[in-house]
Amino acid sequence: MKHIFKTLILFSLILTTPVWAWWGGGHDILTRASVKTLPEEVPEFFRSAGKMIAHCAYDPDISKSRDTPHARAAEYGEHYFDLELIKENPVPADRDAFIAFCAEMELKPSKVGFLPYAVAEWTERLTVAFAEYRKWPDNPMIQYKCYVYAGFLAHYAQDMCQPLHLTVHFDGIVQKDGTKLHAGIHEKVDASIEMLKLDPAELAKGQQVKPVGDLMPVIVQQIKAEHSLVDRVYELVDDYQDLKNPSPALLDFTKDRSREAVRWTASLYLTAWELSEELKLPGWLER
């Protein structure tokens, strides 16, 4: 009886714990679609590995387990950026500058979130791995590393295309008394791609993928564009209550955000590949 009671408590905790990212199946769908959109200039070893990269895209959420408290503490803030908290100030250029800015503003950095820096840093890690591949194209361990890095990058890039990851109103509209209107919506939005069974091939169709150029300014631009859609999410709040029978408006919105997540992820992959051509590896490195 005690065992059953403990099991019920654990199950209750699982149900009531927020899931601050697209559901795993959503990241899987978006990542496979992103790889499908890549042009032939990206090497075939990468373009043929959609399932493997999608497998790795689950990992940032898995490491948020309560059984790994240090990894959870480090990982949690990587998935969001509450734009309102920095007010009219520009987004700092890197993680250290952001932490210093938060100290000046008397903000806890993890309260705001680190998402733009996670996207920039994993794009550059993938750039380094691609540079290694260019030099040692027959080394399978380098290829595996590219898959892992690309999976992490996909996860964060796609979180950036979920508007509720970019606002203090991430799970309900915060009222003056501290209560939330429409609490619980976040998980509904996160579930939508998986529950609506969107097709990676359809999401990839007709995409125009280009490298992003100067990385951080484009990341900030992407954040602001997605943040502008927070009100639209709340306009659809009633529609999210029945994902098994989606309204045309909800279906259109979900497909639109999914296609943008695919375009954004693929553009970062292409950016990493192009940047890797000019990247100089350390002279002591031998693979």
Find the CATH number of the domain harbouring 171.
Answer: 1.10.575
Task: From 99, 218, 75, 81, select the one nearest 162 (Cα to Cα).
Answer: 81
- pLDDT value at residue 19: 45
Flag whether 168 is in a domain: yes
134 within a domain of the structure (yes/no): yes
Alpha carbon separation from 158 to 116, 180, 224 (Å, rounded): 12, 25, 15
38 lies in some domain: yes
Residue 286 lies in a domain: no
pLDDT at 213: 86
pLDDT < 50 regions, the chain? 1-19
State the residue range of the domain holding 224: 2-276
pLDDT at res. 141: 98
Over the stretch 103-155, which tens digit does the pLDDT of each residue have? Answer: 999 999 999 999 999 999 999 999 999 999 999 999 999 999 999 999 999 99
pLDDT of res. 23 = 80
pLDDT of amino acid 18: 44
> Is the residue at 287 inside a domain?
no
Tens of pLDDT, residue by residue over 68-78, are 999 999 999 99
Q: d(Cα 254, Cα 260) in Å, to the nearest integer?
A: 10
Model pLDDT, residue 21: 65
Q: Which tens digit of pLDDT belongs to each residue from 53-73?
A: 999 999 999 988 899 999 999
**Does the residue 136 lie in any domain?**
yes
Tokens representing 216 are: 């951080």
> Alpha-carbon distance 20 to 32, whole Å?
21
| Number of domains present in the structure of the chain | 1
189 in a structural domain: yes
Residue 269: CB atoms within 10 Å: 28
Q: pTM value?
A: 0.92
Assess if residue 6 is contained within a domain.
Answer: yes
